[in-house]
Amino acid sequence: MPRVTVPAGADPLTYVWTGLAPGVSVPAAGYSGAVYEHSMLSLREFEAARITLAEINGCHLCLDWRTARDVPSRGAAPDAVPEDFYEAALAAGYPGLSEREALAAEFARRYATDHHAIDDALWVRLHAAYSDAELVDLALCVGSWLALGRFNQVFDIDGACRVPHGQV
């Protein structure tokens, strides 16, 4: 049950995100959209970090969500990640993931659960695999999923969670 009053018949997620504090919530939704539309991370790196945050936030709909992107070089067919990838991204040691994918998941986990554990040793590994621009991109994606996913959890509107409908 939402933690704020939602009019009868209104969708809780939509109402909270558009009706209560639109001066802040609408730009926040824009931030979320920018993460999906403009991230420079590969789809697999993006999904490794995203599914990690979905698990940490406890969002079942986000755990079931699968991001896909249109790949112009292959026509309109979406680029998608195989289902076993998600199990690997959530497993200890990240079996079967590339170094960058595993680092994206590890960074997301530490960012969300113990940001003080992002130590110099991890930064050395991150810098060996990612450019500075990619690291900022990764952190902004993770920050969005952490903040906005928890927002939905705190207000108990995650049951109506909607990740952007368009394929990105």
Chain centroid offset of residue 86 CA: 13
Angle at 74 between CA 70 and CA 135, to 5 degrees: 50
Q: How far is CA 33 from CA 37, 75, 91, 134, in A?
A: 6, 23, 28, 18
Q: What percent of the chain has pLDDT over 70?
A: 89
Residue with the bigger pLDDT between 143 and 161: it is: 143
In a domain, 5, yes or no: no
User: Residues 33-43: pLDDT tens digits?
Assistant: 999 999 999 99
In a domain, 166, yes or no: no
In a domain, 168, yes or no: no
* Amino acid in position 101: E
Average pLDDT on 81-87 reads 91
In a domain, 3, yes or no: no
Rounded (10°) CA dihedral 88, 154, 18, 164: 10
In a domain, 48, yes or no: yes
In a domain, 105, yes or no: yes
Q: Where are the alpha helices (DSSP H) in the chain?
A: 12-15, 22-38, 43-57, 60-64, 83-90, 99-113, 120-129, 132-154
pTM of the model: 0.86
Residue with the bigger pLDDT between 132 and 79: it is: 132
Q: Structurally, how many domains does the chain consist of?
A: 1
Average pLDDT on 98-107 reads 97
Domain interval for residue 25:
12-160
Q: Residue 131's domain is classified under what CATH number? A: 1.20.1290.10
In a domain, 2, yes or no: no
Which residues are bridge partners to 8 per DSSP?
none
In a domain, 94, yes or no: yes
Q: Tokens for 30? A: 């824009």
